[in-house]
Amino acid sequence: MLRPHVPLRRLGTVAALSIALAATGAFAQARVHASDDEPAPALASESVGDLAKALQVGDIVFTRVGAYPFRKVAEATGTWTNHVGIVLDVSGKEPMVGESHFPFSGSTRLSRFVARSAGGRVAVMRLPTPLTEAQQIALVAAAAQREHVFYDTGFDAHSHRQFCSRYVREVLAQGAGVEVGRVETFRQLLASAPQADVGFWRVWYFGSIPWERETITPASVLHTPGLKTVFDGTAA
């Protein structure tokens, strides 16, 4: 988060609550409990092994982090997902998924990536046109340039840090010349989301939402026109 340069003792109750939220849940992506978000019974079910066989480099993988602040991200965007990564390698024992997460970006085995998702919920979307070999190589190179970048809890599309949906958007744009997701201000995002808990976000941003800050959400990546659904259900 891009925090104002104010002594902690002067931040008051709002800041204290925001810091507490960050410390207790915002970064607990690896400690998701299925009870946080039970999957809908009508969803398809697949083993991670079978899902792995269907993946290609460039596929976009969506999950749901169960930690409270990230559930608020999903709520504000009107969808189930609040985290996204991109498949970088399918040549090994299991696919590797590039992602931006706390504390910094890198790549994660598919099984671990999916295991962090509440209720095992996962969706895989594919670009309408298959990537060429040259695009796949360039995509992996673009991801490598973004390794070990610290996570941005301020969700700023123009900061020197990184967050998941921005990471995926930039890797695909640089590596394959493909644009996914939508850049929008917090004002635009929250104006289109009457269900959003504005009070939570006011606390998250130390009492003042950065209304004109631009961001990209996992939901906007998910709903990119033309993406094809490879899988949408639960995996274990």
Which residue segment(s) compose the domain that 168 sits in?
8-235
Which DSSP helix (H) or strand (E) runs through 85? strand 83-89
Question: Confidence band (pLDDT; 50, 70, 90) for 114?
Answer: very high
Residue 2 placed within a domain: no
**Cβ-based neighbours of 112, under 8 Å, separated by 6 or more:** none
Could you tell me the CA-to-CA distances from 217 to 48, 189, 205 in Å, in that order? Answer: 25, 9, 17
Domain assignment present for 1:
no
In whole angstroms, give the CA distance from residue 214 to residue 201.
15
pLDDT given for residue 3 in this prediction: 34
Alpha-carbon distance 209 to 222, whole Å? 25
Q: How many CB atoms lie within 10 A of CB 16?
A: 12
In a domain, 110, yes or no: yes
Instruction: Give the confidence band of 96 by pLDDT, cuts at 50, 70, 90.
Output: very high
Closest listed residue to residue 214, CA positions, set 193, 184, 191: 184
Joined together, the tokens standing for residue 226 give 């033309």
CATH code (residue 21): 3.90.1720.10
Number of domains, the chain: 1
Distance separating alpha carbons of residues 26 and 56, to the nearest angstrom: 30
- Name beta bridge partners: 150: 104
- Indicate the pTM of the whole model: 0.85
Q: Which residue has the higher pLDDT, 132 or 8?
A: 132
In a domain, 117, yes or no: yes
Stretch 103-121: mean pLDDT, rounded? 97
